[in-house]
Structure 1
Amino acid sequence: MSKAVIPHEIEDWFAGRGWTIRRHQRDMFAAAKAGKHGMLVADTGAGKTLAGFLPTLADFCPSEFGADGAPDGLHTLYVSPLKALAHDVQRNLVTPVEEMGLPLRIETRSGDTPSDRKKRQRSKPPNILLTTPESLSLLLSYPDSFDLFRGLKRIVIDEVHAFATGKRGDLLALCLSRLQSIAPDMQRAALSATVADPEAFQAWLAPWGDVDQVALVIGEEGAEPDLEILLPQEERVPWGGHAATWAIPQLYEQIRTNKTTLIFTNTRFLAEFIFQNLWEANDEQLPIGIHHGSLSREARRKVEGAMARGELRALVATASLDLGVDWGDIDCVVQMGAPKGSSRLLQRIGRANHTLDQRSRALLVPGNRFEFLEAIAAKDAVEEGQRDGEDFRDGGLDVLAQHVMACACAAPFDEAALLAEIRSSLPYAGIDQPLWERVLGFVETGGYSLKAYDRFKRITRDKNGTWRLTHPEHAARHRLNAGIIIDSEMLNVRFKNGRSLGRVEERFAASLSPGDTFAFAGTSLEVEQIKDMDVFVRASKKSAMIPSYGGARMPLSTHLADRVRALLDDRAGWGRFPDDVREWLEVQDWRSQMPAPGQLLVESFPHSKRHYTVYYTFEGWNANQSLGMLITRRMEDRGLQPGGFVANDYSLGVWGLQPVTDPRPLLSPDILADEFVDWVQDSHLLRRAFREVAVISGLIERQHPGKRKSGKQVTFSTDLIYDVLRKHEPDHVLLEAAWADARARLTDIGRLADLLERSAEQVNHVELDRVSPLAVPVMVMIGRESVPQGAIDDELLLEAESLAGAAMRVDTPLE
């Protein structure tokens, strides 16, 4: 790449700090000067964010703008998947800007931004605006967006791997196309540390998918991470459970020893649960904080500020902080439970030290034996530099409908011109004319079955063929309800004085009564009153339960699943495992068989007067849940009297009153063509998917001025419409969108299809006289799958020891 001269103000600032501008930072700068978009893949701590902003900083250097004066208006947009990341980037950008004396104003904009500041940002924008995909889409829905963005020079997309392949990525891709239409010379830059297939993201970033327009820059390699797996000092690695509470004493010692420890959990429930356990062990009253997405904005900002100032010794967090946040004083990162993917683990490890040349120290704390294997697999993958990859898919039609409405709110549009703009984004490049007309028809009237209702008539076409809003009030309604992230309905948790602590899910709040106590934000709270969408509380010293959340499970990546399977098959490698784990596998190998790569192991055995079959799929919880539902339906048809099933990421356990002597007919691939369709039609999955696409597309509005619909109200409304459409308009565009979601996201249908295809000829069925060692982790979950993980670990340990006794006993067969 040709050399480009970086202004001396920037060079001098680097030199004054004893730093050198890195090669990949210069390459990103050169790409911008050459008029190209840029895709940077570099390790954590490599200065990716600064690389993305260098062209912007250069434009505000006096040596560049000279007598003409500094650029005016909005110059650069920065888009990140997390609000916390935007605020962190603002803090880190302010320092070089102030020290170089650049005439540059930087602000953030998200759902947390006060309305008066949002209004002012549109009329008097900062030079750099840090925002999220949803807030950017809302900005583009205003008529003044054309003036606001006309002079836009650059957009920087951080942590692009975290959302480009999902619906938030669909929305951002559409926003990029609109921005490029408003500001044709705008340059795009995307940054990531954990992309497995950079070329695919290069195509996503490029207008019209033309990768020749995007310079791909690969950063310098950083120091290898110092990654260790924490094991019980005196006890065995647990058979079941996920909370890893056995590690609390050792974890507390790490906190005492380290300057600052960042502890990641995979769910909000576990964040509260681990925090509570740590606080009970905190005899020295060390300052320990908690951070997750359900806490109030004030609580999150307070914790983020304390971390930035180095005032906390430890912080327990969820994915709300695992992207890009730069706190240099963190000397150790802890992953509680399985990481589920090497890319996610690498991202989290990078929060320690956060410099390219220093080793990041991290501890993996497995909750059970399979998680130990997963931890080994993830550790090996990180050390080998292997990343997980996510495939791109066609863009969501519900997202497209939302974007069309946003465009109509901004100004009347020409149908052909908007379609051309939309097709320039990779997720929607394949939208054909018939599908486009169906989407327009939906936004226009709600579809054939709903066109009689005025409230669904949002846009109309005039005699010149131009589309416009039917009434200005639709713009305000759109802005109140637009968004992609559809959480479960939440109730506010407040003190009587009005101070908000955050939110809990509606279904959890429904289980509460005055006098009940629950732990939240690290505090024990007693319920005083539940009114409308608020839970009023007071502080309490009583013991408390922990809220459960219905958030999506992190799926086990295919890459990591394959590695776990390979570990099981590599008997020579078992020597590096702890004695109890090695014994577990050796007895399994002696009593039954090991799951081999390319093969599906199925075990059948009697237990407690029932017949059990365990399928070792390694395809993740979603796929195993779907397979369990399908298999039990087939068992019912064949008179096998199924009783139920339970699944984890690695296996599926099914039980009934009759034995399964041959599992092959239960696994034939036609199960997807026949039973799957019937099952999804009749299950809650499609209704749930329809609820989400109905909200995203704008068909159902959750928010009205001064009032928000409850989850029950939204469900009632969407279920009514769902039943009408299924009966009278089965080809409705939202039913198609819901099917796409149900198949791809809720059931991991691709992985399930691959599994059934393989198992057609490669099923290894082993009939046993008792439970096998490998089956114990899934068997101990029977009857407890609906209980929040973590709360049941003590019970699991007791039952696991009983089951393990039978599984590990080396004696004659049972009578």
Structure 2
Amino acid sequence: MNREALFDIAKTWFSGKGWTPHTFQLKTWTAFLQGKNGLLNAPTGSGKTYALWMPVVLDYIKKNPEYKTRHIPGLKAIWVTPLRALSVEIKQAAERVADDLQTGLTVGIRTGDTSATEKSRQKTKMPDLLVTTPESLHLMLATKGYEAVFKDCTAFIVDEWHELLGSKRGVQIELALSRLKTVAPKLRIWGISATIGNLEQAMEVLLGPESEAFQNKELVRAHIEKKIKVISIIPDKMDSYPWRGHMGLHLIDEVANIIKNSRTTLIFTNVRSQCEIWFQALLEKYPEFAGEMAMHHGSISRETRQWVEQAIRDEQLKAVICTSSLDLGVDFAPVETVIQIGGPKSVARFLQRAGRSGHRPGQESVIYFLATHAIELVEASALKRAVKETVVEDRIPYLNSWDVLVQYLVTLAVSDGFYPSAIYKEVKSTFCYQAMTESQWAWILNFITKGSQSLEAYDEYKKVEIEEDGRFKVNSRSVALRHRMQMGTIVGDAVMSVKFMSGGYIGSIEESFVSKLYPGDVFIFAGRKLELYRTKNMEVLVRKANPSAKAQHASWMGSRMTLSAQMGELIRTELYAANNEKASPELRALKPVFKQQQKESVVPDADEFLIETFKTREGHHILFYPFEGRFVHEALASLIAYRISLLTPITFSLAYNDYGFELLSDKQIAVAELLDNNLFTPEYLHEDLQKSLNATEIARRKFRDIAVIAGLVFAGYPGRIIKTKHLQSGSQLIFEVFRDYEPDNLLLQQAYRETFEHQLEEGRLIMALERIQNQQVVWKQCEKPTPFSFPIITDRLRERLSTETLAERIKKMTASYMKSN
């Protein structure tokens, strides 16, 4: 059957649904049927799923013209999704095409949610089309006889590739593909990505540089202009002194009105605790929303999440308060409106969330931005500009993730074993390990067989045996079981299951939160007030609490999101336009803030870098405003404090947010003298950072995750999870052994490298310092805190307030500062 006849089948199916194929869909079908690999870049809700399921089915029809009467069994396509929540919908899309065209093709799901019965069934008979996750894919590679399962596979599709790229889960995909290219020689590899800046590099990482797949590639772009309407929720009254901490709840009435006037509204928060607080606040003030409003985040039980997702589709809900758990690809046609609470910190995340509304080709997406404090309106203005100019962040891929490679090699050794010479070539063909040397490879092999130089005396680290024919193989059943239990690259705080004493699973919360509770304490979780009865074997047993009981909200250790580099640049551009008469509505609304800032200090221009100093009863404050994001400011604050201490003996307290950082001391700081001493030079940055930040301590914490991924420490069996503090102490002991006796250990070196590259963002730090060096430093000696400094000061206050509530204290401070005007 020629391509024209195949396309007729597809077009007839499309017209039966009342659709017409987009140009990008036709291009993708053509490229796939020509045997090409590639990357599809198209906006959310434009029909990306059918752009790749359709050619997979057409390819089967082409190879089997008698497809309606004769079925050829065996796995033909693998569709990898980063979220288990998306798998049901992707399966349904595949089934629509396969069933309507009477192909007889079966579709299955293989994720952590798949039942043991279904997994057992798949062992004997794999579905034709399989939807899975990176972790479940590696578990399949850990199964004996996997080569026979994959050998006839002709399609490998990675959905939401931008979400996996720039993470160790992306490295898992690279390694799995390096094996599958050998096992399944007819494999075609495709990625799907909506919001990403570095598309060419994204395709290179997926296909492998200089690989045959990369030589036969095609980048397909959907030139569909997705209309996105961004509306800022601007308060009627603007405080001259903005502060963060009230989570935007002062605008709850505006949010309620938006909910009432929309079919369905998704309300995105950045963290789970904020999600819980907003849900409770809306329910308390608007009890009529009961039954029409739900909550969705990663710690709520799977059954509840799936019910919420279906209820959105069926239009049973008016509003859902959620986190990034609903960021990606789930198709909710009824969603009319999206509200983003607080700065999303990245353009890509904002566009992704905006795309949840109007999730149909040609429909306009509507997203409201609710600032949790006044200066976040600058972010709103910057996001509007980003949407208009289609500015999207790059995703930076990982290099030399030795922990993931160690895990992968043990995976291969658990199944059928491997020969190092063959696997070396495959691993070396990936983007992540392209610069790996033979000596590094030898070290990795030595590590999995002997436990490296300093652990050779301990049998538990000798996981892989070398058989007579040179094959590397795991022969111990207990090693194999432990390895399968711990596969994956997502490492977080230990979680405990929350269950009613009478039975019934509610969700999971982190051990660090539960450890602060006593029996009888009441906390709010998943929209319920729960009383702690007791904890047992990583289970939190609860009962319903008295509705009037005083309760605290469950909290999670998830670190705060920080501004992306592009977002920081956009915010600086907007801020520099604050003095411009043609400023955006958001900046015009901030006039009281800017007026007060100008009165107390200055609103900097593009060629200026602002430093403020003032004295309060707390001591002497010095504030810097690079607008580079929290992580960069954390490192900069320590760096500058260290460099000042070299000039004069002094001790500082540090505070920082996404806009700037503060050094607080009981001694006055001679700023003029500091500026003469080249305080912002990028020279000696690495050495100064190591000394100022106690990089060893940060690397020690980073090493815990590396140790878990590489299998150096065991996180425990289901129901018998090892406590985080025990994991930490176990990994710290190994860290210290490596540091003292084996400093060239690759995993130890990786911990330091990831500390500087990913946590401290050293590259961004250098660029920030170079930019500051080219600006004119404006030093303002102020009488009192300024509007720009206020959010940073209140962030620090939150850490140590006692009986006075933060809101009361801030009200008094604001009144005091305004009185002297």
Give the TM-score range, shorter chain: over 0.9
Equivalent in the alignment of 1:775? 789
- Aligned-partner SS, 1:364: strand
CA contact (8 A) 1:773 1:807 kept: no
Structure-2 separation of matches of 1:171 and 1:76: 18
Query: How many pairs are equivalent?
Result: 806
Q: 1:471 aligns with which of 476, 479, 484?
A: 476
> Post-superposition shift, 1:216?
0.5
Q: Does 1:546 align with 2:549?
A: no
Change (3 A) 1:609 1:422: closer
Structure 2 Cα separation of the partners of residues 596 and 181 of structure 1: 57
The match for 1:175 is 176
Cα distance in 1 for residues equivalent to 2:561 and 2:446: 36
- Counterpart of 2:275 in structure 1 is 271
Correspondent of 2:702 among 683, 686, 689 = 689
When structure 1 is superposed on structure 2, of 118-127 and 95-104 the one drifting more is 95-104
The yes-or-no answer on 1:316 pairing with 2:344 is: no
The corresponding residue for 1:19 is 19
3-state SS, counterpart of residue 515 of structure 1: coil
For residues 659-698 of structure 1, give each alpha carbon's deviation from its aligned partner in whole angstroms, at most 9, with x where no partner exists. 2223445544345332322355565311110000000111
Once residues 337 and 400 of structure 1 are traced to their aligned partners in structure 2, the CA distance between those partners, rounded to angstroms, is: 38
Q: What residue identity is the alignment partner of 2:164?
A: F
Please give the alpha-carbon distance, in whole angstroms, between the structure 1 residues aligned to 2:398 and 2:606. Answer: 27
Distance 1:748 1:303, change over 3 A: same
Return the letter of the residue paired with 1:366.
Answer: A
How far apart in 2 are the matches of 1:690 and 1:681? 14
Write the distance in 1 (CA, Å) between the matches of 2:774 and 2:429.
43
The one-letter amino acid paired with 1:562 is E
Distance 1:41 1:336 in 2: 28
> Who is 2:233 aligned against?
230
Aligned twin of 2:330: 325
Q: Which residue in the other structure is 1:646 paired with?
A: 655
CA deviation after TM superposition for structure 1 residue 58, in Å: 1.6
1:294 matched to which residue of 2?
A: 299
> What is the aligned-residue RMSD (CA, Å)?
2.5
Alpha-carbon distance in structure 2 between the residues aligned to 1:126 and 1:786:
57
d(CA) in 1 for partners of 2:543 and 2:210? 55
Determine if contact 2:44/2:355 at 8 Å carries over to the other structure: yes
**Residue 517 (structure 1) aligns with:** 522
> What is the distance in 2 between the residues matched to 1:512 and 1:113?
34
Q: Could you tell me which residue of structure 2 aligns to residue 207 of structure 1?
A: 208
Opposite residue 635 of structure 2, the aligned amino acid is S
SS in 1 for 2:663: strand
Relative to structure 1, the CA distance from residue 226 to residue 575 in structure 2 (aligned partners, 3 Å threshold; closer, same or farther) is closer
Cα distance in 1 for partners of 2:312, 2:602 equals 49
Cα 1:247–1:514 shift into 2, 3 Å? same
Q: Alignment partner of 1:155: what SS?
A: strand
Q: Could you tell me which residue of structure 2 aligns to residue 437 of structure 1?
A: 442
Cα distance 1:4–1:671, how it changes in 2: closer, same or farther (>3 A)? farther
Is 2:729 aligned against 1:728?
Answer: no
Moved more, 692-701 or 219-228: 219-228
Q: How does 1:43-54 map to 2 (within 5 A)?
A: 43-54=43-54
> Partner of 2:502: helix, strand, or coil?
coil
TM-superposed deviation, 1:804: 4.5
Q: CA deviation at 1:810?
A: 7.8
Q: Is the 8 A contact 1:161 1:194 kept in 2?
A: yes
Q: Does 1:752 align with 2:761?
A: no
The Cα of 1:85 is off from its aligned counterpart by 1.4
Comparing 74-83 with 221-230, greater Cα deviation is found at 221-230
Question: Counterparts in 2 of 1:535-684, with a 5 A limit?
Answer: 535-540=540-545, 541=547, 542-570=549-577, 571-572=579-580, 573-574=582-583, 576-577=585-586, 581-597=590-606, 599-639=608-648, 641-662=650-671, 663-664=674-675, 665=677, 666-670=679-683, 672-679=685-692, 681=694, 684=697
**Structure-1 residue corresponding to 2:56:** 56
Aligned residues of 1:79 and 1:131 also touching (Cα < 8 A): yes
Which residue of the other structure, out of 457, 463, 468, is the alignment partner of 1:452? 457
Offset of residue 567 of structure 1: 1.3
What are the superposed Cα offsets for residues 94-138 of structure 1, whole Å, 9 maximum, x if unpaired? Answer: 334433333122222222222232232232111111111111111
- Opposite residue 619 of structure 1, the aligned amino acid is E
Normalization by structure 2: what TM-score? Answer: 0.93
Q: Distance in 2 between matches of 1:63 and 1:759?
A: 62
Q: Which moved more, 1:499-508 or 1:666-675?
A: 666-675
1:139 maps to 140
- The answer to whether the Cα contact below 8 Å between 1:618 and 1:650 also exists between their aligned partners in 2 is yes
In 2 relative to 1, CA 773–131 (structure 1 residues): closer, same or farther, beyond 3 Å? same
CA 1:633/1:234 → structure 2, altered by over 3 Å: closer, same or farther?
closer
Q: Distance in 1 between matches of 2:563 and 2:718?
A: 41
Structure 2: gaps spanning 5 or more residues: none
Encode CA deviations 1:280-335: one digit per residue, 9 max, x unaligned.
12231351111111112222222222222221111111111101110100000111
CA offsets 1:435-474 (integer angstroms, 9 cap, x no match): 1112222222221111100000011334543322253432
State the match for 1:399 in structure 2.
Answer: 404
Q: CA deviation at 1:19?
A: 0.8
Q: Given that residues 603 and 615 in structure 1 are in contact (C-alpha distance below 8 angstroms), is that contact kept between their aligned partners in structure 2?
A: yes
- C-alpha deviation, 1:234, in angstroms: 4.7
- Measure, in 2, the Cα distance between the counterparts of 1:94 and 1:806: 66
Name the residue aligned to 1:484: 489
Residues 431 and 206 (structure 1), Cα distance of their counterparts in 2 relative to 1, 3 Å cut: same
Q: Does 1:305 align with 2:310?
A: yes
**Alpha-carbon distance between aligned partners in 2 of 1:351 and 1:442, rounded to the nearest angstrom:** 46
Closer/same/farther in 2, CA of residues 796 and 752 from structure 1, 3 Å limit: farther
412 and 283 in structure 1: CA distance in 2 versus 1, 3 angstrom threshold: closer
Deviations 1:577-632 (A, max 9, x none): 36551132233234423344465322121122511011112121112122223333
Matched AA of 1:266 = N
The secondary structure found in structure 2 opposite 1:769 is coil
Conserved in 1, the CA contact under 8 Å of 2:407 and 2:711? yes
Whether contact under 8 Å (1:456, 1:699) holds in the other structure is yes
Post-superposition offset of 1:702: 0.6
Tell me which moved more, 660-669 or 35-44.
660-669
Q: Which moved more, 1:246-255 or 1:802-811?
A: 802-811
Confirm whether residue 503 of structure 1 aligns to residue 508 of structure 2: yes
Could you give the per-residue CA deviations for residues 726-775 of structure 1, whole angstroms, max 9, x where no partner exists? Answer: 11111211111111221122222222222233334544433323222211
Q: 1:154 to 1:609 in 2, by over 3 A?
A: closer
Shift of 1:84: 0.8
Question: Aligned residue for 1:114?
Answer: 115
The alpha carbon displacement at 1:261 in A equals 0.5
What is the aligned-residue identity percentage?
30
Cα pair distance change 1:52/1:747, threshold 3 Å: same
The residue type equivalent to 1:734 in the other structure is L
The residue type paired with residue 744 of structure 1 is E
Cα distance in 2 between the residues matched to 1:575 and 1:131: 45
Contact 2:234–2:586 under 8 Å retained in 1? no
* Cα 1:709/1:132, change in 2 over 3 Å: same
Give the corresponding residue for 1:531. Answer: 536
Checking the alignment, whether the CA contact within 8 Å between 1:248 and 1:278 is kept in structure 2 is yes
Give the letter aligned to residue 559 of structure 2. A
CA, structure 1 residues 695+597, in 2 after alignment: closer, same or farther (shift >3 Å)? farther
Unaligned segments of structure 1, at least 5 residues: none
In the alignment, does 2:345 pair up with 1:340? yes
Contact 1:574–1:582 (Cα < 8 Å) also in 2: no
* Distance verdict in 2 for CA 1:131–1:596, change over 3 Å: farther
Which residue is 2:724 aligned to? 711
Amino acid of the residue matched to residue 443 of structure 1? I
Shift of 1:528: 0.9
Q: Which moved more, 1:547-556 or 1:209-218?
A: 209-218
